[in-house]
Each structure stands twice: as structure tokens, then as C-alpha cells.
Amino acid sequence: MFLKNLHQALIEYGVKRVRVSKDAADQARSAATDRESVAETKWDTFGLENSYLAHGQSVRVAECEADLAYFHKLSFAKTQEVVVGSVMQLERDDGWSRIVILSARCGGGEFICDDQYVLLVTPQTPLGQSLLHKEEGDELQMKSRGVDQIVEITRIFLPQD
């Protein structure tokens, strides 16, 4: 049941990211085409800068839409060994705890599901690399604000849970 709720929360997170990125792109396009953006001198680059920003925001919309499409198709891993698609609980001695999804996209994203913080980690990151092929009960090192911390994989969630 938790993984079903998690998948729904992940999709809602993706939808929100798409909406926010579209709003930002619309604002940037509006600023780029506004009468106030028309250059008054050859050194006035406000309109040009806004058009660059609008382009960048449009690229961001496409990335967020691709992330959302990935989330819709994501099947959680069915193995106790950590692979892309695994969902696990990480805990530290200092009380820090996160549900972590090892995802091919959207690394660093964080949202809440069932009153728990969920972190998206990609295998390209140091944490993602150190998680790969680990199992429940394994410990690993991670950096938190530049400080090495020991975390334990206290649970790996499987679809039949």
C-alpha cells in the first residue's frame, strides 16, 4: 500500500514541477515581449536577456515533462539488492531519516509522502553510486553539508509489501 501511495505522490510532485516550470516560462516570455523590454539604446539588453531566460525556462519545462513521463512509467524494483527503481529507508544515528528512490531522473528532488520525506537520488551521484548493489542492513558513507555521515539501509520496500 505504501508503494502505491508513494507512486501517486511522486506523480503529484512531477505534476507540480511541470506547473511551476510552465508558469516561470510564461512569465519569462511575457517579460521578453513586453513593451518595457524594447531596447532604448544599443546598450539596453533587458529584452535580449529576457528572451534567453524564456528559452531556458522552455527547456526546463521539457525536462520536467520528461521527468513526469518517466514517473508515470516507473516500476519499483522487485529485488532486495539496490538497483534503479529501488525504494529504501535510510537512517542515521542523529535521527535523520529519508525514504530514498534510486531514480534515473530528477535527482535531488524531495517531497513528502505519508508524513515522510522522500528523496530522489540518481546513480550518477556519489550517494547513488554508493547505494547501488547494497542490501538491507548495509551501512554506507554519505556527505551531509560537507560532513561524512554513516547511514544504514534499514528497509528496502518491495511491491508485494
Residue 124 belongs to domain with CATH number: 3.10.50
**104 shares its domain with 55:** no
**Amino acid 157: pLDDT:** 97
Position 53 scores a pLDDT of: 84
Residue 81 domain-assigned? no
80 lies in some domain: no
Average pLDDT over the chain reads 90
Q: Per the domain annotation, does 148 fall within a domain?
A: yes
- Is 58 in the same domain as 23? yes
Domain membership flag for residue 123: yes
**Residue 141 reports pLDDT greater than 80:** yes
Q: Please report whether residue 145 resides in a domain.
A: yes
Among 48, 73, 98, the domain boundary falls at: 73
- In tens, the pLDDT along 102-137 reads 999 999 999 999 999 999 999 999 999 999 999 999
Whose cell is 530514498? That residue is 100
Per the structure, the count of domains in the chain is: 2
Domain that holds residue 123: 87-157
Three-class SS state of 29: helix
pLDDT digits (tens, 9 = 90+) for 4-27: 999 999 999 999 999 999 999 988
- Bridge partners of 156, per DSSP, are 88
pLDDT over 70 at 58, yes or no: yes
**What's residue 37's pLDDT?**
55
- Does residue 39 carry a pLDDT above 60? no
Q: How far apart are CA 158 and CA 161, in angstroms?
A: 5
Contacts of residue 38, defined as CB under 8 A and 6 or more positions apart, other chains included, come to 47
Pair 48, 98 in one domain? no
Boundary (domain end) residue, out of 11, 44, 73: 73
Domain membership flag for residue 37: yes
State mean pLDDT over 65-87. 97
Q: Is residue 82 assigned to a domain?
A: no
Classified as helix, coil or strand, 100 is strand
pLDDT score of 42: 62
Contacts 24+ apart (CB under 8 A), 56-62: 56/28, 57/21, 57/24, 57/25, 57/28, 57/29, 58/25, 58/29, 60/21, 60/24, 60/25, 61/18, 61/21, 61/22, 61/25
Q: What is the pTM of this model?
A: 0.86
